[in-house]
Amino acid sequence: MVEIREAEKKEEQWYCCPSCNKKLFPMWDNTRIEHMPYRCKACKHDIEVNVFPSRVNNLRTMI
């Protein structure tokens, strides 16, 4: 019997670059990030990432 992990059951959410809309990194429901500097490898845009469990910004849901 194959065991399916809990993370694989849920839809995967991604934080995306606000400039080029490229997926940057995956996130889970309980992800919390504050004031993380990040540079998009595609468009070289510098952003500050802020993600809170109750208010998730800038998501793309992977189907």
Give the pLDDT of residue 30: 82
Q: How much of the chain exceeds pLDDT 70, in percent? A: 67
Give the pLDDT of residue 38: 94
Q: How much of the chain exceeds pLDDT 90, in percent? A: 44
Q: Give the Cα separation of 32 and 61 in Å (integer).
A: 18
The answer to whether 28 touches 7, Cβ cutoff 8 Å, is: yes
Give 38-63 pLDDT, tens digit per residue. 999 999 999 999 988 754 445 554 43
